[in-house]
Amino acid sequence: MKNQHQQQVKTEIEHVQTWSGPLPAPESLIKYNEAAPGAADKIIAMAESEMQHRHELEKKALADNSRLAFVSTILGFLSIIVLSVLVGFAIYQGNSGLAFGAIIGAIAAVAGLFTYSKVKSNRDTQQ
């Protein structure tokens, strides 16, 4: 008599392959080349072109940031000079309350800009 309950063993094999980088895995490049001769060279050239473009954008962004920092420093220095003259003139005219208010306002503005730039920088870093 045959065994009424035959056990079946089922085996599943799953093959997972991952690859990280700007180019496909070497095996994939070979397959691309087999499907379309010269495709691997075109893919590599495209990745090199993209990398060069990204580097140019990063250089431009760095140069723009350097110019912005320089201009900001000059404008900040000029603002301090103008504020000092105005506060000195207000004190000379006997308006010490106005002078005190101008100083507090300037300190608050600088603190606000500093806080805003830190928050924006942190937000940009997290993205």
Q: Does any domain span residue 19?
A: no
**Residue 60 structural domain:** 26-126
Q: Does any domain span residue 80?
A: yes
Q: Does any domain span residue 4?
A: no
List, in order, residues 6 or more apart from 23 with CB less than 8 Å away: 29, 43, 44, 47
pTM: 0.51
The amino acid present at 44, given as its one-letter code, is I
Count structural domains, the chain. Answer: 1
Q: Does any domain span residue 14?
A: no
Q: Does any domain span residue 8?
A: no
Q: Does any domain span residue 103?
A: yes
Tens of pLDDT along 61-109?
Answer: 989 888 888 888 898 888 888 888 888 998 899 988 888 888 898 888 8
Q: Does any domain span residue 105?
A: yes
